[in-house]
């Protein structure tokens, strides 16, 4: 059955890959981009099924207007893919306040505003799916990516709560957590001015590996896009979709470490509650 998808950040990477595959199989796509002309080739080939919208997700009014117009024109949108975002690689001390604000406005607030704008329409049509592209960095943390992690951990918490709020309306969510992949993501990373005192520390070592060829990236973006679409099409969409062997190993280790810390502190954790006797006497 033909579906209609709205995809943000569709000029490159996962967003572009999804648009290409969905159009090729006959679906309709509303694709938002920040760069004029970035989808001209697809628009020429699929002019009857592709709507390109120029949009900055930090423009709250623009996001609301774009979503409203998309639903007005297409009547029904089956899947919203919140994909727009970027990374900053630098220590907290190196990062400016403006850089902090900008990434939160884009990666976190941009996704939240998009989803909020779509909810009344999805509720009115009686169902819908929202795919939030997060990252393995929504569950683990690398030194030097603190601001990126703040945005991804934040959006995952937002989705976790929101999914419970709208479950009665048959609105489903999937958080996609790709590991490192060979997209243009690294090339678009913002690099704050370095502080030499951090040379030789984990954050700068990771940056040197990322830009010096020492970090072997195993993730195939084409296979990842195929996995996202397959999962979004499934009769029961998974709530989380982790992509990549390294991502699996990293998240698995992080969760086990958190559980170990939880169990180690259990006695202190449980000792702060009122006792059953005290509660009975209140």
Query: Do residue 122 and residue 186 come from a single domain?
Result: yes
- Stretch 47-68: mean pLDDT, rounded? 95
Where do the H-state alpha helices sit in 57-133? 60-74, 97-103, 110-125
My answer on whether 177 and 235 are in the same domain is: yes
Q: Which helix (H) or strand (E) holds 250?
A: helix 245-264
Mean pLDDT of 80-102: 95
Pair (200, 267) in one structural domain: no
* Calpha distance 95→89 (Å, rounded): 9
Does 134 lie in the same domain as 270? no
Q: Are 37 and 70 in the same domain?
A: yes
Q: Does 233 score more than 80 pLDDT?
A: yes
Domain range for 137: 4-243
| Residues recognised as catalytic | 134, 148, 152
My answer on whether 22 and 120 are in the same domain is: yes
Q: Which of 5, 14, 54 is nearest to 228 (CA)?
A: 14
pLDDT at residue 183 in the model = 65
Instruction: Decide which of 137 and 187 is more confident.
Output: 137
Q: How many helices (H) and strands (E) does the chain have?
A: 11, 7
The pLDDT tens digits for 238-260 are: 999 999 999 999 999 999 999 99
> Which CATH number do you get for residue 190?
3.40.50.720
pLDDT at 37: 87
Hey, what are 254's tokens? 């992080």
Same structural domain, 100 and 65? yes
Residues 167 and 281 in one domain: no
pLDDT band at 25 (very low <50, low <70, confident <90, very high): very high
Res 203: pLDDT: 94
CA atoms of 168 and 9, how far apart (whole Å): 29
pLDDT given at position 186: 66
User: Which residue is listed with tokens 């423009």?
Assistant: 59
What band does 139 get if pLDDT is binned at 50, 70 and 90? Answer: very high
Clarify whether residues 270 and 191 are in a common domain: no
- How many other CB atoms are found less than 10 A from the CB of residue 180? 21
User: Does residue 84 sit in the same domain as residue 103?
Assistant: yes
Same domain, 123 and 230: yes
- Whether residue 131 is found in the same domain as residue 258: no
pLDDT, one tens digit per residue, over 179-189 is: 876 766 666 78
Global pTM exceeds 0.75 = yes
Nearest to 122 by CA among 158, 169, 192: 169
Q: What is the pLDDT of residue 254?
A: 97
Indicate the number of domains in the chain.
2
């Amino acid at each position: 059955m033909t579906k209609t998808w709205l995809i943000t950040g569709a000029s490159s990477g996962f967003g572009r890959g999804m648009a290409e595959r969905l159009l090729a199989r006959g679906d309709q796509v509303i694709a938002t981009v920040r760069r004029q002309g970035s989808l001209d080739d697809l628009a020429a080939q699929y002019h009857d099924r592709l709507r390109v919208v120029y949009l900055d997700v930090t423009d709250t009014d623009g996001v609301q207007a774009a979503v409203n117009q998309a639903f007005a024109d297409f009547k029904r949108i089956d899947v919203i893919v919140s994909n727009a975002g970027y990374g900053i690689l630098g220590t907290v001390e190196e990062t400016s306040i403006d850089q902090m604000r900008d990434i939160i406005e884009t990666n976190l607030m941009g996704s939240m505003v998009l989803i909020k704008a779509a909810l009344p329409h999805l509720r009115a049509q009686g169902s819908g799916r929202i795919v939030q592209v997060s990252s393995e960095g929504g569950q683990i943390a690398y030194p030097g990516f603190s601001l990126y992690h703040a945005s991804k951990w934040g959006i995952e918490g937002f989705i976790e709560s929101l999914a419970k709020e709208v479950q009665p309306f048959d609105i489903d969510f999937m958080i996609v957590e790709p590991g490192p992949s060979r997209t243009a993501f690294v090339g678009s990373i913002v690099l704050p001015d370095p502080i030499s005192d951090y040379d030789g520390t984990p954050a700068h070592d990771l940056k040197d590996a990322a830009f010096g060829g020492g970090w072997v990236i195993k993730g195939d973006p084409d296979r990842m896009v195929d996995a996202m679409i397959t999962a979004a099409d499934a009769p029961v969409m998974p709530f989380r979709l982790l992509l990549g062997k390294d991502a699996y190993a990293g998240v698995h280790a992080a969760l086990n470490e958190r559980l170990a810390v939880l169990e180690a502190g259990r006695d202190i954790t449980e000792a702060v509650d009122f006792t059953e006797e005290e509660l009975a006497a209140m």
